[in-house]
């Protein structure tokens, strides 16, 4: 780099900086800055042309003022002029100013691009480096469009100097990260791989970073890099520290390059070539051997560099998961770090061992360190290290050590940090269920879990224990006895009362023979907790009481007195009042046989993935969006009600039609406060018992339509996307975030109060007009009745597609604002294409299926004028957003778009093929859809054609 001459010292800049530092107050600093800005402005506007040195000095002052936090609105043109200078220092300051202050939307960007092009074509390595650094620092889309093709050419040119190659590789990496769609993949991709063989290690280091990023997106294009990376890694690992003097860091040869090469190799499976594989194994063994050698320096930089290479090598060993010897050696090496005095090493060792525990080759080796991990759980000061220890115990658990690990985690739970208690509770619950040979131990563990950390036991945990007890006859009596004993404690957590109420209501008869747990004793024990519980738990206990009337006729009178009391019949909570009224009436008018049928024991739950495990996956995963299957799990795992159970009143909603047949004369309501209302199938048993005529099925949400006009202006925008603002006026903004999988969907509705006044009596409902109620199940979860000024309220809508449909449901919102009742109706963007599952097909399969769907009623075709610009990328995005898989290379005409997908409903699946043919000259489209159902073809054609 050129030396800076004495004349470049810029004494004026040094004086100005000194003046700023000597200012005694903020006001004095601002005054000095304003004075300087006025001086600079007058110099730039003066008639006399400034020389390069003066421009550089004043631009430097402006840059310094900007870095102090002040706005700069002039001087940009002078900085651009500096780019044309032949002096390095002037050009450097110009590029520095542009990198920091020039906006990518600036009018000067064209002049800047021209100056950069001149420097790139100058073949002056210093100027080329400055230009490449500027492109990378700005990294805007405009820069990428201008230079994305030029930078790769410089990178692979044979006459490019090493320092320029380094800058070009890193510049291309930056552009690929900011605008990957603009970086062309051409013949240079094959040539850039060979930079791994370059003599200059700086070039190799920069090229490795670039290749790793590109290989993650297009692994097939960079397969040849594996053999070159192994060869280069082998040369580094086997070299002495003196061989690579310029790239040896505290006696470790090229540690950064080693780490990058090991990370590149993690983009691919183990090499198939035996020679390359053997050479790589030799490299990894050498790295593990060096870790055992005495350190060559006591300085922390030496150990950090050495351990960085070691941990990346272990990550590669775990990634390949094919060499048992290496896996066990890596495990033993990590075991030594578990008791290291350096906290970061202990953390990394625990984290790496978690991954090793999942390998069949190293699982047993990991288990040998169980005592060390348990000790870390008890004695470690850093909460993040303790959390990794919990993760490792969870990962190494199997049937041989499950009881020990669960016991230790329960012991730690009593003193664990609040931030990780919920995660520990989920893991204990999963392990207890997964490795329970004796289910009595499982019941004891979960009840102990509720006792220790009841506040952190989510609904999924106690739902799951209910499912298991109901599904296993051999544990029902023990569970009833255990919860009865646990409830006798003076202070019980509410979750324990829920479990106790449910299990005693179902299986209390199994322990009723013992005088100490007679029916009356059981009832009195449960009722003693009643006044301490929340409304949902009281509702569950009332359901348990009506179960008791069926199980124990001798306590019928006592329970009826409780149900008849003013505290129940006139309860302020409508849910509790209605349960008390309906249960009392049911117990009075129904015969013993009818009661036995209606209140029979819950049937076994269908086996499926544990909802606790699903929750843990969501909690630990990178995504924050809840699993779409949760809506299905809620209905099946919810012990207070569900669509899959025939015993409707055990803890489910009594359907309105059935209630009328009973002659109770009151509207029905859900017996559970949390799950969605059960569909008509759940109430069919009541219909059969009390009437010979089955009434028509009620709609999932039967709410009278509002008089407000239905707003659907933004409805078309959501056909090809799932997120955005659906409705907005001066009071309220409604936003949506939705996700779909197969025939299920979940929609998050966000209500934003744009005013400073609170919304009162805020209530919402969904109306399914005409026959839509039988085609689409929409369940709206309860919302808070008040929305504070400036606040946002979230509401969840669960959706199930029963069969294909045409119309969309309407969301009604009603609230009081300033004493005035507001009514808003908005069409919800739930359309048939939301239930698409994209399907990949080959060209042969596509046209074979296309011919099969050749009946006239299966095809719908529409020719229409383009409403928007016919942009290829926008069209692709819309077709993908519509839900189908975009099939490349299928249509003989490359300008046509072809897609395939399957619409999932509860009753059937409908395959769909589409073909969109644009005519850019005529600004027209021809859209052809073929499905196995004519109504589906027509609806999809109407929806998609409106998007173009």
The pLDDT of residue 603 is 84
Other beta carbons less than 10 A from residue 641's beta carbon:
25
Q: Considering the chain, what percentage of its residues have pLDDT values greater than 70?
A: 87
CA atoms within 13 A on the CB side of 364: 4
Q: Over the stretch 908-920, which tens digit does the pLDDT of each residue have? A: 888 898 889 888 8
Q: Which of 175, 99, 95, 103 is nearest to 127 (CA)?
A: 95
Q: Over the stretch 633-655, which tens digit does the pLDDT of each residue have? A: 333 333 333 333 333 333 333 33
Cα–Cα distance, 326 to 915 (Å, whole number): 52
pLDDT band at 416; cut points 50, 70, 90: confident
Q: Which of 173, 97, 103 is nearest to 132 (CA)?
A: 173
Cα–Cα distance, 257 to 248 (Å, whole number): 11
The pLDDT of residue 352 is 92
The pLDDT of residue 240 is 67
Q: What is the mean pLDDT of residues 47-74?
A: 86
Per-residue tokens: 850: 């296309």
Which ranges of 786-933 does DSSP label H, i.e. alpha helix?
A: 843-852, 872-882
pLDDT band at 610; cut points 50, 70, 90: low
Q: Over the stretch 422-456, which tens digit does the pLDDT of each residue have? A: 889 989 998 998 888 888 899 999 989 988 888 88
Q: Are 839 and 901 in contact (CB under 8 A)?
A: yes
Lowest mean pLDDT across 98-112, 116-130, 405-419:
98-112
Q: What is the mean pLDDT of residues 557-567?
A: 89
Query: E strand or H helix at 522, and its extent?
Result: helix 519-528
Dihedral of the CA atoms 818, 819, 825, 829 (nearest 10)?
40
The residue assigned the tokens 């383009």 is 866
pLDDT band at 126; cut points 50, 70, 90: very high
Q: Over the stretch 497-553, which tens digit does the pLDDT of each residue have? A: 999 999 999 999 899 888 898 999 999 999 998 988 999 999 999 999 999 998 888
Lowest mean pLDDT across 130-134, 226-230, 617-621:
617-621
Give just the sign of the alpha carbon dihedral 347, 350, 354, 359: positive
C-alpha distance from residue 30 to each of 23, 69, 101 (Å): 9, 11, 20
Per-residue pLDDT at 588 exceeds 80? yes
Q: Over the stretch 230-244, which tens digit does the pLDDT of each residue have? A: 999 998 888 765 566
Lowest mean pLDDT across 131-135, 696-700, 873-877:
696-700
With H, G, I as helix, E, B as strand and everything else as coil, classify residue 346: helix
Cα–Cα distance, 88 to 282 (Å, whole number): 48
Which ranges of 83-200 does DSSP label H, i.e. alpha helix?
A: 88-101, 109-120, 125-138, 141-147, 150-156, 162-178, 188-193
pLDDT band at 937; cut points 50, 70, 90: confident
Q: What is the mean pLDDT of residues 471-481?
A: 90
Residue burial 173-211, b: 16+ Cβ < 10 Å; e: rest: bbbbebbeebbeeeebbeebbebbebebbbbbbbbbbbb
Dihedral of the CA atoms 565, 571, 575, 581 (nearest 10)?
30
Selection from 9-13, 95-99, 461-465, 854-858 with the highest mean pLDDT = 95-99
Q: Are 764 and 780 in contact (CB under 8 A)?
A: yes
The pLDDT of residue 860 is 87
Per-residue tokens: 435: 């490795």
The pLDDT of residue 690 is 29
Residue burial 117-143, b: 16+ Cβ < 10 Å; e: rest: eebbeeebbbbbbbbbbbbbbbbbebb
pLDDT band at 30; cut points 50, 70, 90: very high
The pLDDT of residue 253 is 87
pLDDT band at 806; cut points 50, 70, 90: confident
Per-residue pLDDT at 782 exceeds 50? yes
Q: Considering the chain, what percentage of its residues have pLDDT values greater than 90?
A: 26
The pLDDT of residue 203 is 92
Q: Over the stretch 198-219, which tens digit does the pLDDT of each residue have? A: 888 899 999 999 999 999 888 8
The pLDDT of residue 620 is 62
C-alpha distance from residue 396 to each of 15, 328, 541 (Å): 65, 14, 40
Q: Over the stretch 760-775, which tens digit does the pLDDT of each residue have? A: 888 998 988 777 888 8
Q: What is the pTM of this model?
A: 0.60
Q: Are 736 and 747 in contact (CB under 8 A)?
A: yes
Q: 820-827 and 710-711: which strand pairing?
A: parallel
Cα–Cα distance, 504 to 527 (Å, whole number): 12
Q: Over the stretch 163-203, which tens digit does the pLDDT of each residue have? A: 999 999 999 999 988 888 888 777 788 888 889 988 888 99
The pLDDT of residue 363 is 87
Per-residue pLDDT at 676 exceeds 60? no
Please, which residues have CB within 8 angstroms of residue 46's CB and are 6 or more apart in sequence?
none
Q: What is the mean pLDDT of residues 375-403?
A: 90
With H, G, I as helix, E, B as strand and everything else as coil, classify residue 569: helix
Q: Over the stretch 276-327, which tens digit does the pLDDT of each residue have? A: 999 999 999 999 998 888 888 888 898 899 999 999 999 999 998 888 899 9
Cα–Cα distance, 299 to 292 (Å, whole number): 17
Q: Over the stretch 572-585, which tens digit does the pLDDT of each residue have? A: 889 999 999 999 99
The pLDDT of residue 873 is 82
> Average pLDDT of the chain?
82
Q: Which residues are 792's β-sheet partners? A: 752
The pLDDT of residue 371 is 92
Q: Over the stretch 686-739, which tens digit does the pLDDT of each residue have? A: 223 223 333 333 333 333 334 578 888 888 888 888 888 888 888 888 988 888
Per-residue pLDDT at 659 exceeds 90? no
Contacts 24+ apart (CB under 8 A), 538-542: 538/576, 539/575, 539/576, 539/579, 539/640, 539/671, 539/672, 539/673, 540/498, 540/501, 540/502, 540/640, 540/651, 540/672, 541/497, 541/501, 542/568, 542/576, 542/579, 542/580, 542/583, 542/671
Q: How many residues does the chain have?
A: 948
Per-residue pLDDT at 471 exceeds 50? yes
């Amino acid at each position: 780099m050129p030396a800076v001459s004495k004349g470049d010292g810029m004494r004026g800049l040094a004086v100005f900086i000194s003046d700023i530092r000597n200012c005694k107050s903020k006001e004095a600093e601002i005054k000095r800055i304003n004075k300087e800005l006025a001086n600079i402005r007058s110099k730039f506007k003066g008639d006399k042309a400034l020389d390069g040195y003066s421009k550089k000095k004043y631009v430097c002052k402006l840059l310094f003022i900007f870095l102090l936090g002040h706005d700069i609105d002039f001087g940009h043109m002078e900085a651009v002029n500096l780019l044309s200078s032949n002096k390095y220092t002037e050009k450097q300051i110009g590029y520095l100013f542009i990198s920091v202050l020039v906006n990518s939307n600036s009018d000067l960007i064209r002049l800047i691009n021209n100056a950069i092009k001149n420097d790139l074509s100058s073949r002056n390595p210093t100027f080329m480096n400055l230009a490449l650094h500027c492109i990378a620092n700005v990294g805007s889309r405009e820069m990428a469009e201008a230079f994305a093709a030029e930078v790769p050419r410089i990178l692979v040119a044979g006459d490019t100097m090493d320092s320029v190659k380094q800058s070009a590789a890193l510049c291309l990496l930056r552009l690929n990260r900011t605008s990957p769609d603009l970086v062309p993949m051409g013949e240079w991709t094959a040539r850039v791989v060979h930079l791994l063989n370059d003599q200059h290690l700086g070039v190799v280091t920069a090229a490795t970073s670039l290749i790793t990023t590109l290989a993650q997106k297009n692994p097939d294009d960079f397969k040849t890099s594996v053999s070159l990376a192994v060869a280069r890694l082998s040369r580094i690992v086997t070299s002495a520290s003196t061989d690579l003097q310029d790239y040896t860091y505290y006696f470790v040869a090229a540690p950064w390059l080693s780490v990058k090469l090991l990370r590149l190799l993690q983009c691919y499976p183990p090499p198939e070539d035996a020679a390359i594989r053997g050479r790589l194994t030799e490299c990894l063994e050498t790295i593990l051997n060096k870790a055992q050698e005495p350190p060559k320096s006591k300085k922390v930089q030496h150990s950090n560099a050495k351990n960085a290479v070691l941990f990346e090598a272990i990550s590669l060993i775990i990634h390949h998961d094919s060499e048992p010897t290496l896996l066990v050696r890596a495990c033993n090496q990590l075991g030594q770090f578990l008791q290291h005095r350096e906290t970061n090493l202990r953390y990394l060792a625990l984290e790496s061992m978690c991954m090793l525990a999942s390998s069949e080759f190293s699982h047993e080796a990991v288990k040998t360190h169980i005592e060390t991990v348990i000790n870390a759980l008890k004695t470690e000061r850093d909460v993040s290290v303790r959390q990794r220890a919990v993760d490792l115990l969870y990962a190494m658990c199997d049937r041989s050590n499950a009881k020990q690990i669960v016991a230790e985690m329960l012991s730690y739970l009593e003193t664990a940090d609040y931030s990780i208690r919920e995660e520990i509770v989920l893991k204990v619950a999963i392990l207890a269920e997964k490795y329970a040979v004796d289910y009595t131990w499982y019941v004891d563990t979960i009840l102990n879990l509720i006792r220790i950390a009841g506040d952190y036991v989510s609904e999924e945990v106690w739902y799951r224990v209910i499912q298991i007890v109901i599904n296993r006859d051999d544990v029902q009596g023990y569970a009833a006895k255990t919860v009865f004993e646990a409830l006798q404690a003076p202070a019980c957590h509410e979750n324990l009362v829920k479990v106790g109420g449910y299990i005693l209501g179902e299986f209390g008869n199994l322990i009723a023979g013992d005088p100490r747990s007679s029916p009356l004793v059981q009832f009195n024990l449960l009722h003693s907790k009643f006044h301490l519980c929340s409304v949902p738990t009281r509702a569950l206990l009332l359901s348990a009481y009506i179960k008791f009337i069926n199980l124990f006729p001798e306590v019928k009178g006592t329970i009826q007195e409780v149900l008849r009391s003013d505290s129940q019949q006139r309860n302020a909570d409508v849910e509790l009042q209605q349960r008390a009224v309906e249960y009392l009436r049911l117990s009075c008018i129904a015969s013993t046989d009818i009661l036995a049928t209606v209140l029979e024991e819950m049937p076994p739950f269908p086996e499926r993935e544990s909802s606790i495990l699903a929750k843990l996956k969501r909690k630990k995963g990178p995504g924050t969006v809840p699993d779409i299957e949760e809506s299905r799990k809620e209905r099946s795992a919810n012990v207070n009600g569900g669509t899959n159970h025939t015993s409707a009143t055990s803890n489910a909603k009594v359907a309105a039609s059935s209630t009328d047949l009973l002659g109770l004369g009151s509207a029905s309501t859900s017996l559970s406060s949390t799950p969605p209302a059960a569909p008509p199938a759940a109430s069919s048993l009541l219909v059969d018992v009390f009437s010979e005529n089955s009434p028509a099925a009620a709609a999932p949400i039967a709410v009278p339509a509002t008089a407000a006009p239905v707003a659907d202006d933004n409805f078309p925008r959501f056909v090809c996307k799932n997120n955005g603002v659906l409705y907005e006026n001066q009071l309220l903004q409604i936003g949506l975030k939705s996700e779909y999988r197969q025939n299920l969907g979940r929609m998050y509705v966000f209500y934003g109060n744009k005013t400073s006044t609170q919304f009162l009596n805020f209530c919402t409902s969904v109306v399914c007009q005409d026959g839509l109620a039988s085609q689409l199940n929409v369940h709206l979860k309860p919302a808070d009745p008040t929305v504070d000024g400036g606040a946002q309220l979230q509401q969840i809508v669960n959706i199930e597609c029963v069969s294909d449909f045409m119309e969309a449901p309407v969301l009604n919102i009603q609230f009081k604002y300033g004493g005035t009742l507001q009514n808003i109706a908005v069409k919800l963007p739930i359309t048939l294409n939301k239930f698409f599952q994209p399907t990949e097909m080959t060209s042969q399969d596509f046209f074979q299926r296309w011919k099969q769907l050749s009946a006239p009623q299966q095809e719908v075709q529409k020719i229409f004028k383009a409403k928007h610009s016919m942009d290829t990328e926008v069209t692709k995005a819309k077709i993908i957003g519509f839900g189908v898989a975009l099939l490349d290379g299928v249509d003989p005409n490359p300008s046509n778009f072809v897609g395939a997908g399957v619409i999932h409903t509860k009753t059937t699946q409908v395959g769909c093929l589409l073909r969109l043919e644009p005519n850019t000259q005529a600004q027209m489209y021809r859209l052809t859809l073929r499905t196995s159902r004519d109504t589906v073809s027509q609806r999809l054609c109407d929806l998609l054609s409106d998007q173009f």
